[in-house]
Amino acid sequence: MKTFFSLLIICLTTSLFSQPSGKEIINLIDKNLSAKTRIASARMIINGARGSRTIEFKTWAEGEDKSFTEYTNPAREKGTKMLKLEDKLWIFSPSTDRIIQITGQMLRQSVMGSDLSYEDMMEDADLTSHYSASVTGSDTLQNRKCWILQLNALAEGEAYQVRKIWVDQERYVPLREELFAKSGKLLKRTQLSEVEKIQGRWFPMKIVYKDMLKQGDGTQFVFETLSLDELIPENIFSKASLK
Amino acid sequence: MLAFKLALKNLIGAGLRTWLNVFVLSLALFMIVFQSGIIEGWNRQAKADMIDWEVGGGEYWHELYDPYDPLTLNDGHAVLPTEISQLCMDGQAVPVLVTQASVYPEGRMRNILLKGIDQSQNIIKMQTADLKNDSSTINAMIGTRMANATKLKTNDLVTVRWRDANGTFDATEIRIAGIFHTNVPSIDNNQIWVSLDNLQRMTGMDDQATYIILKQGITSTPTVPGWIYKGYDILFKELDTIIKAKGVGGIVVYIILLSLALLAVFDTQVLSIFRREKEIGTYVALGMTRWQVVWLFTIEGAMHSILSVIAAAVWGTPILYMVAKKGFGMPKGIEGYGLTIAEKIFPYYAAGTIITMTLIILITTTIVSFIPSRKIAGMKPTEALRGKVQ
């Protein structure tokens, strides 16, 4: 009996020491995903109840507060540009030749009928400074072993009080994320796949967002090219670049 | 008097030509009275409906609230001040809290306004007693327009997502406890009503409201810091603008109708003078001055309008009365136009409008009768007697 307990204690302590804490894991995720700047060309495939459509765009982002997106395809959307500076968003539509500012509640509207709201699309908040994390279990996704993390907001005012993340145990890349309402209702699910090593970081090149309250198969983001921490000229993030 | 008798005799003697003119003029008068009656009836009904369903005896708005700017909903709410709280407790006012939300009927997202109102209120006509919770599910009410747009029915459960006061997403299922029918789309389109305490709890905005509806008949509206009183002049401004625009459109129609009728009278006068030259010469030969003959022909033309007023009264009054009693049905689907308009409009015929329009017709007919008659003043009686065209 004594031997059994000794073995059990050894097994448990070994297991505890091999499993990083939630905080360590989200630190590693942030280190992996949060970049000073990002320049990407991507496709957004919106799978709605009435069929799907693809929109191509190029985006430049700096930190959490600045981003600039230009839609390049299809012809109907070509030339549409979006500029986000802190909590303000401007959209330029070539068909109207006007710059429209979208603020406050309108940031919560869907982007071109996708499963993302404007603020979802531009959210790049690092997890460490906004959430506490605890490991609640493990799972296997895409043939990779994952930690399951529950994230609780450190302060009131976060869009989502509770998040659940499946994190690749080796690469520290989230492979699935679920966002919950205060009531506990599942609101959004994100599946991340096609993880590639880019400039020494593991990065998912395909992200599928699904608004769990809506019909349809969600919205896919497929990165064609992605470069991180490149210097972006300051004039990109100015209203002058919209026209 | 002789001129009037003579004019009447001549008119009746002209037979069908006179009665056609009289009928066209009476039709114009009827249409003008009818149309203005419909617009005035709509105006009165719409305002009465708005008072009953939406604005009561006026409203207090939070100073940052603007119903035409959804961005103001973030900050346009506050804890009720003591003066207004007292009014609410006395049953003289009801607070309403407004927040933006999304509803997902059949998995389709729809952005809406989620409004909270005291379920025990009797300030507006909405049967808010249905909002009382009989289970853990939140009861809600929607209008028929919203029900049609979302295909929601009574007892349906639907998911609503909103943000609380701190901006955190929350979502729950609500039950459609009742569907109300109102002519006022501004409390129906894209709106879901829940009880005030539920919405305050859901959003974490305890004891707060966005606007307050006062009971009808309240005369005292003290200045309350942070809140702005909105009287009927502000609350009806949009409706008044629409009615005014419709009124202007109506005037265009009146002018067209009246012009057509007056053109007929004018033509008749021209034709009369052309065909009755010998008669004109005879009048002068018998001792009438040329201006007396002009006067005679002008009265003759003007009497068309008097006869038309009588004719309009004879055949138009029963129709106008019947429409006023039974109402004038609006086309199906008018609900979707976003206007406060009833399915049936009961016209209101203002005496002032009828008198004004009658006078306008009398004066304009007299003028158009006089214009061609002036030609008589330039006629040579001898030539006229011989029937020579001048």
How confident is the model at residue A10, as a pLDDT?
43
How many beta carbons lie within 10 A of that of residue B63, not counting itself? 15
- Domain contains B294: yes
Tell me, yes or no, whether B248 and B216 share the same domain. no
Q: Is the pLDDT of residue B142 over 90?
A: yes
Tell me, yes or no, whether B39 and B90 share the same domain. no
Q: Which residues of B touch A161 (CB under 8 A)?
A: 168
- Domain contains B305: yes
Tell me, yes or no, whether B171 and B218 share the same domain. yes
pLDDT: which is higher, B316 or B330: B316
Residues 6 or more apart whose CB falls under 8 angstroms from that of B269 comprise B297, B300, B301, B368, B369, B371, B372, B373
- Which neighbouring-strand residues pair with B191? B113
Tell me, yes or no, whether B277 and B366 share the same domain. yes
Tell me, yes or no, whether B63 and B90 share the same domain. yes
Q: Is the pLDDT of residue B336 over 70?
A: no
- Domain contains B48: yes
How confident is the model at residue A15, as a pLDDT?
44
What's the mean pLDDT in B330-350? 79
Q: Which residues of B touch A182 (CB under 8 A)?
A: 164, 168-170
Q: Is the pLDDT of residue A9 over 60?
A: no
Q: Is the pLDDT of residue B72 over 90?
A: no
Mean pLDDT (chain A) is 85
CA angle A127/A131/A133 to nearest 5° reads 100
Token representation of residue B227 = 């809140």
From residue B227, alpha-carbon distances to A120, B56, B173, B215 in Å are 35, 17, 33, 17
Mean pLDDT (chain B) is 87
Q: Which residues of B242-256 are buried (b: 16+ CB within 10 A; e: fewer)?
A: bbeebeeebeeebee
Say yes or no: A158 contacts chain B, CB-CB below 8 A.
yes
What's the mean pLDDT in A75-84? 90
- Which neighbouring-strand residues pair with B261? none
How many beta carbons lie within 10 A of that of residue B345, not counting itself? 23
Taking the CA of residue B39 and the nearest CA in chain A, the distance in Å comes to: 37
- Domain contains B41: yes
B130-141 tens-digit pLDDT: 898 777 889 999
User: Which phi and psi angles does B166 have, rounded to 5°?
Assistant: -90, -5
A115-157 tens-digit pLDDT: 887 767 666 567 888 899 999 999 999 999 999 999 999 988 8
Tell me, yes or no, whether B78 and B226 share the same domain. yes
pLDDT: which is higher, B275 or B181: B181
- Domain contains B390: no
Q: Is the pLDDT of residue B30 over 80?
A: yes
Quick check: A211 and B109 CB within 8 A?
A: yes
- Domain contains B242: yes
pTM of the full structure: 0.80
Q: Is the pLDDT of residue B122 over 60?
A: yes
pLDDT-above-90 percentage for chain A: 49
How confident is the model at residue B254, as a pLDDT?
83
List the single residue in B73, B161, B166 with the smallest CB-CB distance to A187.
Answer: B161
Strands A144-153 and A131-141 come out as: antiparallel
CA distance A8 to A6: 5
CA distance A61 to A38: 5
Domains and CATH numbers, chain A: 20-242 (2.50.20.10)
Q: Which amino acid is at A19?
A: Q
CA distance B354 to B34: 10
Query: B195, B230, B265: which is the final residue of a domain?
Result: B230
Question: Could you say which DSSP state residue B51 is in?
Answer: I
CA distance A44 to A72: 11
For chain B, the C-alpha Rg in angstroms (whole number) is: 32
Handedness of CA A151, A152, A153, A157 (dihedral sign): positive
How confident is the model at residue A17, as a pLDDT?
45
Query: Which residue does chain B place closest to A186, by CA atoms?
Result: B171
Quick check: B108 and A181 CB within 8 A?
A: no
> A129 burial class (0-12, 13-18, 19+ CB within 10 angstroms)?
exposed
Tell me, yes or no, whether B25 and B129 share the same domain. no
Assess contact for B253 and B112: CB atoms under 8 A. no
List the single residue in B71, B108, B161 with the smallest CB-CB distance to A181.
Answer: B161
Assign residue A222 a region (left: φ > 0; alpha: ψ between -120 and 50; beta: otherwise).
Answer: beta
CA angle B328/B330/B334 to nearest 5° reads 160
What's the mean pLDDT in B315-333? 87
Instruction: Write out the residue range of the structural domain in which residue B297 sits.
Output: 2-52+238-385
Q: Is the pLDDT of residue A112 over 90?
A: no
Assess contact for A33 and A203: CB atoms under 8 A. yes
Tell me, yes or no, whether B199 and B62 share the same domain. yes
Number of domains in chain B: 2
pLDDT-above-90 percentage for chain B: 43
How many beta carbons lie within 10 A of that of residue A66, not counting itself? 20
Token representation of residue A189 = 């699910």
User: Closest Cα partner for B3 from B372, B373, B377, B303?
Assistant: B303
Confidence band (pLDDT; 50, 70, 90) for A1? very low
pLDDT-above-70 percentage for chain B: 95
Query: B194, B209, B230: which is the final residue of a domain?
Result: B230
Flag whether the ipTM exceeds 0.90: no
User: Which phi and psi angles does A114 have, rounded to 5°?
Assistant: -80, 180
- Domain contains B250: yes
Tell me, yes or no, whether B89 and B173 share the same domain. yes
B283-310 tens-digit pLDDT: 777 777 878 888 888 888 888 888 888 9
Quick check: B171 and A216 CB within 8 A?
A: no
Q: Which of B115-119, B154-158, B370-374 has the least mean pLDDT?
A: B370-374
Quick check: B71 and A104 CB within 8 A?
A: yes
What's the mean pLDDT in A57-86? 89
Tell me, yes or no, whether B329 and B263 share the same domain. yes
Residue of A88, A183, A212, A219 to mutate for B, most B C-beta atoms under 10 A? A183
Confidence band (pLDDT; 50, 70, 90) for B346? very high
Tell me, yes or no, whether B251 and B334 share the same domain. yes
Q: Which residues of B touch A179 (CB under 8 A)?
A: 169
Query: B230, B257, B291: which is the final residue of a domain?
Result: B230
User: Closest Cα partner for B110 from A53, A186, A109?
Assistant: A109
Tell me, yes or no, whether B221 and B334 share the same domain. no
pLDDT: which is higher, A15 or A186: A186
How confident is the model at residue A11, as a pLDDT?
42
- Domain contains B148: yes
